Structure 1
Amino acid sequence: MVIGDFMIDRYFQGDVHRISPEAPVPIFLKQDEYFVLGGASNVVSNLASAGQNVVAVSVIGRDATGDTLIAMLEDLGCNTSGVIRDIGRKTITKTRILAKNHQQLLRIDEESTERISTEDEKEIIRFVQREMARADLLILSDYAKGVLTPSVCQEAIKTAKEYDVPVFIDIKDAEIEKYAGATLLKPNRKELETAAGAPLKTKADLRGAAHSLCDICGADYVLTTLGSEGMLLIGNGIEKQINSSRREVYDVSGAGDTVISYLAACYANRMDITTSAMIANCAAGIKVTKMGTAPVSIHEVSREWCGEQSSKDLYGRTSKVLSLSELTGSLKHRPTETVVFTNGCFDILHLGHIGYLRQAASFGDILVVGVNSDASVKRLKKESRPINNEHDRTELLAALEFVDYVVLFDEDTPMELIRQIRPDVLVKGGDYTKEEVVGADLVAGDGGRVEIVPYLENHSTTDIIRKIERGDHGGDAGS
């Protein structure tokens, strides 16, 4: 669950060739316009890219920009039921005018920064109390724009404690008492100096101020981000300096959001706090090579942290087997590639499956295989099926080099998967016509196509099971 100041970044991209005759100012020729999630919504974006399910809680305006913000969050698979639309507030928008080589000429801010109303406070608190039982971790992302009032912070922390949910806070406010009771506080150097009320010139100063902040707020940990000097983790007997990786820094904006996101994602996935902080530092190193508040994907971090050849992802899972939200998040970072989708039970993987899947992969760049869950197979087949459980079936498919992603589904048909994935090519095997294939109309409506691949004769799971039941091993008696 992420509570905080949600905002959106708008970019006008273009060029400057001359000075205005009306005044000594450049004439900007706008060529492109796009939106990026910013503030606490950038935390949500990074969490989604880290393969996490997120519920967003905030107050934004009932305006066109707010509509865009909600649509972008929902496009990530985020639950936006905790986002309040207040007609008396503006959705925070930062418009940047960018010339060639991403040179920023001007920034225009539209925002409401006063504290949210008492009624909005109460509505947020009611939502948090109602939904906290479902959360694994709570993030408070404070940009000092009015959402995280002392009341909201303290009631959210209190509720999280009742459910034994850790609370990580990206702090901004000098009124640090409102953060009391958090599990972890994440200031940068300037924010730690504000909390300490004095400049912090040495490493000893930083350590002392971090310990003091821990004590004042009753936090377990303080993680201070120090830019090119890395990060300092203090708390529960830990005092660790984490050095930043040496990279060409392109843009540091949003790096703090990346840190809190990956720190929280790793900790929620049962990693210890030191490992979580080191991976967050790795993710931040990737972020600063990107322009603007661009999210960092789990695959980028997995390759960096686990190594290019690792078959496991950041959380120790086979990196090809993803949840639906993880999959859609991954595909968003590969927008120019052709996505091919097919599905099946794949109960006993055999030569017919291999040939079918290899041909399916030839129709595009990315092959996604939807696999019926155990419960789904039992409904479609019979109680004695599947022979192999869903974990074994998905892992075997993931081991095939021409399969890019594997995703389970519990429904009788893959229609919801197809609706969410929006493949360019839909592949089905057997004696179907294209019009009979589930999801064919949706794919065709998006401009995609359906391909029918014939099954290899005399190769089926049912045939294999019957041979085993007959004791027919297909070879000599001693084989």
Structure 2
Amino acid sequence: MADRTAPVPAHGTARTGRTPLVVVGDALLDRDLTGCAERLAPDAPVPVVTDCAERVRPGGAALAAYLAARDGRDVTLVTGLGDDPAGHALRRLLDDWMEVVPLPLTGDLPEKTRVLAQGQPVLRMDRGSGRAHEATGEARRALRSARAVLVADYGRGAADALRDTLAENPPAVWDPHPRGPAPVPGTRLVTPAAREARRFAAAPAGRGTPPETGPRPPSRAGDLRTAAQDAAALVRRWRAGAVAVTLGARGALLSYGDCPLLVPAPGELHGDSCGAGDRFAATAAGLLADGALTGEAVEGAVAAATAFVAAGGAGALTRTGPADGHADREDAHDPYGLVARVRAGGGTVVAAGGCFDLLHAGHVGLLQAARRIGDCLVVCVNSDASVRRRKGDGRPVTPLADRVRVLRALECVSAVAVFDEDTPERLLGDLRPDVWVKGGDYARGDLPEAALLESWGGQTVLLPYLDGRSTTRLAARAAATVKVTTGGDAR
């Protein structure tokens, strides 16, 4: 059995207190060609896409690793890489973010190119048939010293080459592929999509998955009963701790082999779903590595994937420099300077708001999820007068200076801005964030800020709150405790 307390190869120890992660899988190079289509070609009924802009980004396992690194986590990626131009391009994208341990690759690195018109995909072109064909001593050492492992399998040999080493200490999360191997027994969480789960469950035990026989109606792949049956069967077949079948906009269905738990998406959000599975797997692996229960990890992963899609998916990612939880501390007292710096680098500005009086676990979970959406998080806080008008006499319990100081101390918070009005609309107009986050106990109609965000192309996102956590309940409980201990005299 490998020593899980051994030093971690990914940059030593985590910069942000988060558990380092080793990602094993098949890297791709993804490319988007985005333009306009206003006419059809004269020689065929196909759109003519003009004025294309090109954006290159990590794909496959490299995307999962990149997203984990953007979360502020130290990451090592073990993947097939060669000496071809696509491999060199991918290394340039990854080198500032993580340590890369290459596996020998036969053929060129796979590339996936999407052509989009008005933001909608119209064509995808794939090239490159490279496969990782053997393990290396360096790769085995990285796995044996890892404190947490995510397998992001894209069916191109990396998981096969390292299967025996992966079996020594089963991964936290295995995101499977129909052309790849089954997860090793003991994997804590396996995360197939609904159609993948159907194919895995339909295959005879011990054999590869059958090929697709043709398109199926979406209702069949997303049917909850089918997904529940498939998940339960796969828990037993793979001897996994749990299987979470991802259901797209419906969320995910988590099974330990019996009655499943449906974790719904936090809202009806629409956007580019490219990369959502990698966002789900990277978030779940990170949360499990940090000590979350499986159900908590799946809930966090659903929220993160939903917000990721709403923010534009993988196509909206930009390269802004290494994700370091302390990198923007110099701007903690200057939210406007922070926003200008992130925006100048092509990054995504996220803002969240509230009173944050008696900061509790629901607040922290919301802010952590919000930070994962983009490149910085600005928290907009009600002044004392604003809280008093909204909540009544006796509030806030905690004065503004203390609330700001506690928020700034959170690793996920980049900067704090204060507003004195009843709503943060004026402040948001000054900051102009790309994404505005509120707790899931709101309805979209209750948020006057939503229309304001839309006026400059921003997006309002609802994230789930932890049930049963609220400042009002905490204050009432504290008052009751004081009354009991003082015999009714709370002076």
TM-score by length of 1: 0.58
Q: Name 1:234's counterpart in structure 2.
A: 255
- SS across alignment from 1:179: coil
C-alpha separation in 1, matches of 2:313 and 2:197: 24
Match of 1:333? 375
Superposition pairs for residues 23-62 of structure 1, below 5 Å? Answer: 26-62=47-83
Tell me if structure 1 keeps the 8 A contact 2:77–2:98: yes
Is residue 157–residue 181 contact of structure 1 (8 Å, CA) maintained in 2?
A: no
Aligned equivalents of 1:248, 1:216: Cα separation in 2: 34
Partner residue, 2:135: 122
The one-letter code sitting in structure 2 at the alignment partner of 1:235 is: Y
Aligned residue for 1:179? 184
2:393 matched to which residue of 1?
Answer: none
Q: Which letter does structure 2 place at the counterpart of 1:122?
A: A
The change in CA–CA distance for 1:275 and 1:399 in structure 2 (over 3 A counts) is closer
Partners of 2:187 and 2:241 within 8 A in 1: yes
Q: Is the 8 Å Cα contact of residues 63 and 90 (structure 1) preserved in structure 2?
A: yes
Aligned-residue offset at 1:224 = 0.9
1:140 corresponding residue in structure 2: 151
- Name the counterpart of 2:92: 71
CA–CA distance in 1 between the matches of 2:351 and 2:198? 35
Unaligned runs of 5+ in 1: 321-326, 338-394, 407-479
Residues 399/25 of structure 1: CA separation in 2 closer, same or farther (3 Å cut): closer
Per-residue CA distance 1:42-93 (angstroms, 9 max, x = gap):
1112111222111001113312221121111123x2111x12364x421221
Q: Within 2, Cα distance between the matches of 1:232 and 1:301? A: 31
Q: 2: distance between equivalents of 1:83 and 1:308?
A: 48
Amino acid at match of 1:94: K
Please tell me the residue identity of whatever aligns with 2:125: I
Retained in 1: the 8 A contact 2:192–2:244? yes
Distance 1:191 1:21, change over 3 A: closer
AA aligned opposite 1:42: L
SS in structure 1 of the partner of residue 135 of structure 2: helix
Percentage identity across paired residues of the two chains:
25
How far apart are 1:397 and its partner, in Å?
Answer: 11
CA offsets 1:340-362 (integer angstroms, 9 cap, x no match): xxxxxxxxxxxxxxxxxxxxxxx
**Match in the other structure for 2:467:** none
- The code of the aligned residue for 1:333 comes to D
Whether the 8 Å CA contact 1:258–1:295 is kept in 2: the answer is no
Mapped partners of 2:350, 2:259: distance in 1: 25
CA offset at residue 249 of structure 1? Answer: 0.9
| Separation (CA, whole Å) in 2 of partners of 1:201 and 1:398 | 42
Query: Aligned in 2, Cα 1:107/1:313: closer, same or farther, shift over 3 Å?
Result: farther
* Corresponding residue number in structure 1 for 2:102: 83
Tell me if structure 1 keeps the 8 A contact 2:144–2:165: no
Tell me the TM-score normalized by structure 2. 0.56
Counterpart CA distance in 2 for 1:231 and 1:397 is: 31
2:301, 2:349 → 1: CA distance?
Answer: 9
Gaps of 5+ in 2: 1-21, 204-219, 326-347, 379-404, 417-491
Distance change >3 Å, CA 243–CA 218, structure 1 → 2:
same
Task: Check conservation: 1:57, 1:83, Cα contact below 8 A.
Answer: yes
Distance 1:56 1:21 in 2: 46
Matches within 5 A, 1:444-459: none
Change over 3 Å in CA distance of 1:53–1:302 after alignment to 2: farther
> Counterpart in 1 of 2:168?
159
Aligned partner of 2:215 in structure 1 is none
Counterpart for residue 193 of structure 1: 198
Amino acid at match of 2:98: C
Match for 1:258: what amino acid? Answer: R
Cα distance change, pair 235–109 in 1 and its aligned pair in 2 (3 A): same
CA distance in 2, matches of 1:14, 1:287: 22
Q: Is the 8 A contact 1:157 1:167 kept in 2?
A: no
Using the TM superposition, give the Cα deviation of residue 174 of structure 1 relative to its aligned residue in structure 2, in angstroms.
Answer: 6.0
Is residue 2:304 matched to residue 1:272?
no
Corresponding position of 1:105: 122
Q: C-alpha distance in 2, partners of 1:94/1:147?
A: 18
Deviations 1:317-373 (A, max 9, x none): 9989xxxxxx9x99x8369x9xxxxxxxxxxxxxxxxxxxxxxxxxxxxxxxxxxxx
Q: Provide the rounded CA distance (Å) in 2 between the counterparts of 1:302 and 1:98.
A: 25
Greater Cα radius of gyration, structure 1 or 2: 1
Size of the aligned set, in residue pairs, is: 322
What RMSD in Å do the two structures reach over aligned CA positions?
4.1
Partner Cα distance (1:21, 1:236) in 2: 56
Q: 2: distance between equivalents of 1:211 and 1:301?
A: 40
Q: Please state how far the C-alpha of 1:112 moved relative to its aligned partner.
A: 0.9
Instruction: Tell me the residue number matched to 1:467.
Output: none
Q: Secondary structure at the match of 1:95?
A: strand
For 2:164 and 2:280, how far apart are their aligned partners in 1?
25
> Compared with structure 1, are the counterparts of its residues 229 and 27 closer, same or farther at alpha carbon in structure 2 (3 Å cutoff)?
closer
Q: CA deviation at 1:105?
A: 2.9
The one-letter code of the counterpart of 2:241 is D
CA contact 1:45–1:295 (8 Å) conserved in 2? no
CA shift at 1:138, angstroms? 0.6
Cα offset, 1:309, TM superposition: 4.1
